[in-house]
Amino acid sequence: MAQRNASRRGQKRGESFMDYSLLFIVLFLVGFGMVMVFSSSSYEANIKLGDSTRYLRQQLFASILGLVAMMVVANIPYHFWERFAVPAYISSVVLILLIIPFGHSSGGATRWLYIGPISLQVAEVAKLGMILFLSSLICTLGKGIRTNKGFMLVLLSPAPVAAMIYFITNNLSSAIIVMGIVVLMLFVSCPDYKRFFLLGLIVLAVAAVLVFYVVQTAEAHMDDLDFRGARILAWLDPEAYSDDRAFQTIQALYAIGSGGVLGKGLGQSMQKRGFLPEAQNDMIFSIICEELGLFGGIAVIVMFLLLIWRLMIIANNAPDLYGALLVVGVLGHIAVQVILNIAVVTNTIPNTGISLPFISYGGSSVMFLLIEIGLTLSVAKGIHLKDL
């Protein structure tokens, strides 16, 4: 009997870990996102398409596909994906190149490929591909990542993909996210923080020079500025460009300010009624603040902080470096995207056009984010509970 009890205790110690807290947070964000997509898009969809549920149904379809894929990936041992590191990199490059002859345009940008009835934003595939590739590369390098050669190899290997995303799909925000992912993965795997301090100074210096150049060019030759330069001017002085370049930003700030502490009530936004462009996409956080107030906006931020906290716990307890890096890559993707989206909506940084993870309308985004969560759950299953 004593041996049997000891055996049972040993089995309990070996039980796999399932992070139900992470699962609940993700499901809440996806469900809340669908509510807000319907609330922010129903007026426009009814006026333009004659179907107020059009965006909701498309988001629901993508979310269901993503949840199914998430559960499938969660039940596959995560080391299975290590063999797909190089194919993931190559696939990302090929898909981006396919945009040139076969890309679909929307809103002045060509970023999508149609695969049957499904519209695929290739930048979302590239983000997942870079997480798989960089996790394997860093593990392969081992201690070699501490050398200048190893550090620069990891830092620059995704740069061609980021450059292609920027120049071919005209998607600056996704290019920034790809580089943000690699920097965070390097940060947790390389103990030499002086390099990151220097890297941060270089980025700040380049940004400052760019802003100075745009301001000087605007004073001398306003017509020479491209639309990104115009966005910088609108960021610096939104009221001066409230009729065109800063129109979206101004309307978003109006929405946030008019919501007050408790908001106007779910579905009661005025800005979504033809005033705020892309209300269901990049600017959905402003609609949340207008309808649910400061309380709703802070609640959403808290949910994302809890999500990042759970990801950090899984990364810290991952069975090996490869699993930890997969989770850190997912954490970096979500964290950078949330920060950039809220910063854009509040005019903290120039408008780059970036969605709020799990909440903004966008089938490719929610589907691949859920696949990344599946990877994280797979890593979590490798954690054994020792203290039950």
Tens-digit pLDDT profile for residues 12-60: 444 556 788 999 999 999 999 999 999 999 988 898 888 889 999 999 9
Give the strand pairing for 104-106 and 118-121: unpaired
Evaluate if residue 75 carries a pLDDT over 80. Answer: yes
Answer whether 318's CB lies under 8 Å from 305's CB: no
Distance CA 104, CA 99 (A): 8
Q: State residue 93's pLDDT score.
A: 94
Q: State residue 225's pLDDT score.
A: 62
Q: Identity (one letter) of the amino acid at 101? A: P
Nearest Cα residue to 128 out of 356, 378, 367, 379: 367
CA-derived radius of gyration, the chain: 22
Evaluate if residue 226 carries a pLDDT over 90. Answer: no
Q: State residue 108's pLDDT score.
A: 67
Band (pLDDT 50/70/90 cuts) for residue 2 is very low
Nearest Cα residue to 74 out of 382, 386, 351, 388: 382
Q: Which carries the bigger pLDDT value, residue 86 or residue 218?
A: 86
Least confident range from 126-130, 137-141, 215-219: namely 215-219
Q: How many CB atoms lie within 10 A of CB 320?
A: 12
Evaluate if residue 229 carries a pLDDT over 80. Answer: no
Q: State residue 380's pLDDT score.
A: 93
| Alpha-carbon distance values, 89 to 86, 164, 222 (Å) | 5, 13, 40
Q: State residue 275's pLDDT score.
A: 87
Q: State residue 106's pLDDT score.
A: 73
The phi, psi pair for 276, rounded to 5°, reads -105, 110
Q: What is the mean pLDDT of residues 81-94?
A: 94
% of the chain residues with pLDDT over 90: 57
Alpha carbon 301 to chain centroid distance?
Answer: 14
Distance CA 207, CA 266 (A): 39
Q: State residue 323's pLDDT score.
A: 94
Query: pLDDT by residue (tens digit) across 307-365?
Result: 999 999 999 999 999 999 999 999 999 999 999 999 999 999 888 888 999 999 988 89
* DSSP-H helix ranges across the chain: 2-13, 20-49, 54-74, 85-102, 122-141, 148-156, 159-169, 172-189, 193-220, 227-236, 247-259, 284-317, 321-345, 363-381
Evaluate if residue 388 carries a pLDDT over 50. Answer: no
Q: State residue 210's pLDDT score.
A: 87
- The distance between the two most distant Cα atoms of the chain, rounded to a whole number of Å, is 89
Nearest Cα residue to 141 out of 42, 133, 37: 133
Q: State residue 383's pLDDT score.
A: 83
Helix (H, G, I), strand (E, B) or coil at 204: helix
Q: State residue 221's pLDDT score.
A: 61
Answer whether 290's CB lies under 8 Å from 383's CB: no
Q: State residue 316's pLDDT score.
A: 93
Q: What is the mean pLDDT of residues 253-259?
A: 91
Q: State residue 111's pLDDT score.
A: 82
The whole-model pTM stands at: 0.91
Evaluate if residue 1 carries a pLDDT over 50. Answer: no
Evaluate if residue 293 carries a pLDDT over 90. Answer: yes
Q: Which carries the bigger pLDDT value, residue 2 or residue 99?
A: 99
Helix H or strand E segment including 111: strand 109-115
Evaluate if residue 116 carries a pLDDT over 80. Answer: no
Evaluate if residue 195 carries a pLDDT over 50. Answer: yes
Cα end-to-end span (Å), the chain: 20
Q: Which carries the bigger pLDDT value, residue 107 or residue 185?
A: 185
- Residue found by looking up tokens 């061609």 in the block: 160
Which sign does the torsion angle of CA 120, 122, 124, 129 carry? positive
Distance CA 25, CA 201 (A): 35
Evaluate if residue 9 carries a pLDDT over 60. Answer: no
Q: Identity (one letter) of the amino acid at 11? A: Q
Helix (H, G, I), strand (E, B) or coil at 94: helix
Distance CA 197, CA 211 (A): 21
- Four-point Cα dihedral 269, 274, 280, 282, nearest 10: -110
Mean pLDDT across the chain: 87
Band (pLDDT 50/70/90 cuts) for residue 377 is very high
Q: What is the mean pLDDT of residues 115-144?
A: 90
Evaluate if residue 279 carries a pLDDT over 60. Answer: yes
